[in-house]
Amino acid sequence: MGDALRGKRGRSTEQLSYRWRPALMAFFLRRVDSRAEAEDLTQEVLLRMLDCDLPAGEPDSYIFRIAQNLLIDRARKTMVRDRYRQRVAHEPERMLDPLDPHRIAASREQLAAFAAALAELPERTRTMFILFRLENLSQETIGAAYGISASAVKQQIGKAMATLSGKMRDLR
């Protein structure tokens, strides 16, 4: 691979790795729990070093400032994730299993009851309801197809909604 990856100042990844990897690994191993994470952080510092102009002379403080900033970013991300996990864990619905067989059966029963209630509607009312609520046709378009006004369609849809709501409420 040689000097395939070169930064702004002609540095290769091998040169940077040879010079800085041991010190960076030691720095990160004292501060993180896992060797793999220390490797990842070290690699991130080396990549950032390729992309930046290091100060003249000894760039130790600059490089370790990059490392320290990575640790700060890591701590912030961990804190945000932990807060999110705590908040989600306290949500009451979070304890419900979305694939709970009882919930699936109950939902199927509700859907069957809705289909039965829909089937009980007069055909014209049912068709208007389906065209409006499921097919997203406007009341004007439906009215034009049936040769009635949009307000008449609105009344039919309102009757359908009242009937369906009442039947679904009775199920509970």
Residues 2 and 68: their CA atoms lie apart, in Å, by 29
Task: Please state whether the predicted TM-score (pTM) of the whole model is above 0.95.
Answer: no
Q: Which tokens go with 115?
A: 């289909």
Strand partners, 6: 12
- Please name which of 136, 134, 152 lies closest in space to residue 144, comparing C-alpha atoms: 152
pLDDT at residue 4 in the model: 43
Strand partners, 12: 6
Residues 138 and 130: their CA atoms lie apart, in Å, by 11
Q: Which domains does the chain have, with CATH numbers?
A: 10-87 (1.10.1740), 115-171 (1.10.10.10)
- Contact at 8 Å (CB) between 48 and 3? no
Q: Tell whether the torsion through CA atoms of 109, 113, 116 and 118 is positive or negative.
A: negative
Q: Which tokens go with 55?
A: 């100060």
* Radius of gyration of the chain measured on its C-alpha atoms: 33
Average pLDDT of each block of 10 consecutive residues along the chain (172 residues)?
46 78 94 94 90 73 91 94 84 66 86 92 93 92 94 94 88 70
